[in-house]
Amino acid sequence: MPSPALQHADLYLRRLGFARAPVPTLDTLHLLQLRHTAAFPFETLNTFLHRPVPIDLPAVERKLLLEGRGGYCYELNGLYLALLRRLGFDAVPLTGRVVMGGPEDALPPRTHQMVRVRVGGRDWLTDVGFGGMVPTAPLALDDAGAQPTPHEPFRLDRRRGRYTLRAWVGEAWKALYVFDLEAPAPADLEVGNWYVSTHPDSPFLGRLVAARTGPFCRHALRGGSYALHRVGQPSLRRELRTPQAVIGVLQEVFGLQLPTQPGLHAAIAQQLDALHADASDSEEKVLATPV
């Protein structure tokens, strides 16, 4: 059964700064990935509000292109894959296990989707949906050394057919996710998306996260904490104390048109109250600790 075609390809390309369809070259792939991570923010508003996250192409087109929203990997890389194929790239989906923040030899579920592209006689990893540490340039799968991007350098380590993606962060190589080159079936993507959007252990369920790249910087929101990470400079951080402040950052920094359903303001207020309570508890424990 053939995959559904993009219905709003011209609008999609305009959002990415193209007046017409570009040719499927490596230079085009670089431009697409860099511009995509800036134009379409990573965001978890649906899972924050415990709402469904459909990943069929018409639903994702409607959300990202017509409703002014962002999404997470299954949405962002799903739409991106459809565009790459529309432009004539040899592109297939891949899935990975996220190990960022945990042991590299762990075997968490395959909950991250990205894309493999074959262009210029080489295979490249291209990914527009990994949130605050998304790579902003394609990475050659046959290159074991550090690979520059417009932001941090990245590296792909290969061992026994398995790749580990690392980023240079804080003067060290940090593992982000591991993957192989087996293309998933559509059902695999549905199962992974179901897990991320509904499982109690999902890092996004009931949590508000947003990320977007800019020139030599990254914007990141986690709960009520907003950070501007600048290449080669100290990060700037701001704690957002009210739902209005959080909504303002989502709209002004991340460029999101927020969902109109009731409950968003109350959900943000509840999250901020919980965060402030946790912070107060931590302070009390510190003050109560004998010295």
Tell me the catalytic residues. 73, 112, 127
State the burial class of residue 230 (Cβ atoms within 10 Å of its Cβ: 0-12, 13-18, 19+). middle
* Number of neighbours of residue 242 by Cβ within 10 angstroms: 13
Token output for 46 = 């649906």
d(CA 255, CA 129): 17
Alpha helical stretches, state H, 70-168: 73-87
The three-point CA angle 268-49-53 to 5° equals 145
d(CA 154, CA 175): 10
d(CA 112, CA 74): 7
In DSSP terms, 263 is beta-bridged to none
